[in-house]
Amino acid sequence: MAAGLSEDETRSSSERNPWVECIGPALAIAFLPGFVLFIYGILHFNYETPDFWVKLSGVEGLDRSADAVTAPTFNVTVRVDNEWNNFWEFCGKGGSVDVSYAGVPLAHGEFPEFCVPPGVVGSVPVVATSEGLGLPDDLYESMESQRQRQEPVQLAVDVQMREVTGRGGSLILLWCTAVLPGQPAGTLVCGISN
């Protein structure tokens, strides 16, 4: 026994109060499930609207109206980048696609129903076409002069999606730019509005 201390004074605090040894494990057991649920909730319920961009994978009928044998037809691929959502798939219940050049509508198509799994970049193919043959002369000349100057021919591709995940049934409108196939273009991310 230590000099000057009684036997009661040399006992550890855990011997005097048995609850002291139980507090640490009890707190860990009490708070660990709550902490795990908190982290799970952040990861599971944190929903991000995907990024979108478009690519024209094929085009037909961009001839002068007098020489045309087919209507302007655009094979549009809408890419949906759902990589940020680890638990939520991104789905839409259809909509429409409109393609225009210099403010002049060229083609229209129906956007299909689709789903992109969580953590994935998915593709939604759409065909947009026109009822008339070819392009008006002034539009054709403008497009051809851009091609001859080796400038990218930019087309506006407007996409409307209905009843998409995370929007409570409201629409998503995408304002996209695409270039004719075979021309260089960087990644052109679509603008989004409600």
Q: Give the tens place of pLDDT for each residue, 19-70.
A: 666 676 666 676 667 666 655 555 555 668 899 999 999 999 999 988 889 9
Q: Answer yes or no: is 158 within a domain.
A: yes
- Flag whether pLDDT at 153 surpasses 90: yes
- Tell which wins on pLDDT, 131 or 32: 131
| Number of structural domains the chain divides into | 1
CA torsion sign for 7, 10, 14, 16 is: positive
**Quick one: how far is CA 118 from the chain centroid?**
11
Do residues 90 and 52 make contact, with C-beta atoms less than 8 angstroms apart?
no
Q: Answer yes or no: is 70 within a domain.
A: yes
Hey, what's the torsion of the CAs at 50, 55, 61, 62, to 10 degrees? 110
Its pTM surpasses 0.85? no
Domain of residue 96, CATH code: 2.60.40.10
Q: List beta partners, residue 135.
A: 64
Residue ranges making up the domain that contains 71: 47-193
Residues comprising the chain, all counted? 194
Q: Answer yes or no: is 3 within a domain.
A: no
